[in-house]
Amino acid sequence: MYDLLIFLTLIAVGYSVGTLTEKRHYRSIHKREKAFLYLPAVTIKAVDYPEEKVRSAELVYGSVVISIDYFKKILAGLRNIFGGTVKSYESLIDRARREALLRMKEMAGDATVIVNVRIETSTIARKANKEGVGCLEAIAYGTALTLEK
């Protein structure tokens, strides 16, 4: 009986706080993405720029470790039975990647363009569905080019 109560409380806490933090995080992501529109990040290696105009080239990177909330974990566990897309994990990984990209851009400062951007994710702790800390790291890195005006 008490076990069930604890379980339900955990789900309720996970759902309410988790949804709130996700909304807040998305708001902040949207705001900062707009602010960084002047700094394009591209995955190609060579953009059309005159070679002699490049003032500096520098490696920039940003990373974030993010974890899933209890409610979504249960949801994903249920989803495992029937199969199909696991929406709760999609938004988690989406947030992590975008946050990593934004941190990379923050590191680039007043660069003109970031070329050859690579994004990687890795689980650094135990398996996400098992008991314990289920979290993943997203890292984005690229070369920031600063051109002379």
Partner 1 sequence: MIITNIETVPGKTIVEHFGLVSGSTIRAKHIGRDIMASLKNLVGGELKGYTQLLQESRNQAIDRMIEHARQMGANAIVNVRFSTSSVAQGAAELYAYGTAVRVQ
> Where does this chain bind partner 1 (CB under 8 A)?
10, 13-14, 17-18, 21-22, 25, 45-46, 49, 51-59, 61, 63-70, 72, 92, 99, 115-116, 118, 120, 122-126, 132-135, 137, 139, 141-143, 145
Asked whether 143 and 104 are in contact (CB, 8 A), the reply is: no
Buried b (16+ CB within 10 A) or exposed e, 122-132: eeeeeebeeee
Cβ neighbours around 143 below 10 Å, total: 16
CB nearer partner 1, residue 30 or residue 55: 55
User: Using CB atoms within 10 A of its CB, is residue 51 exposed (0-12), middle (13-18) or buried (19+)?
Assistant: exposed
Compute the least distance from the CB of residue 37 to partner 1, in Å: 23
Compute the least distance from the CB of residue 40 to partner 1, in Å: 15
CB nearer partner 1, residue 79 or residue 134: 134
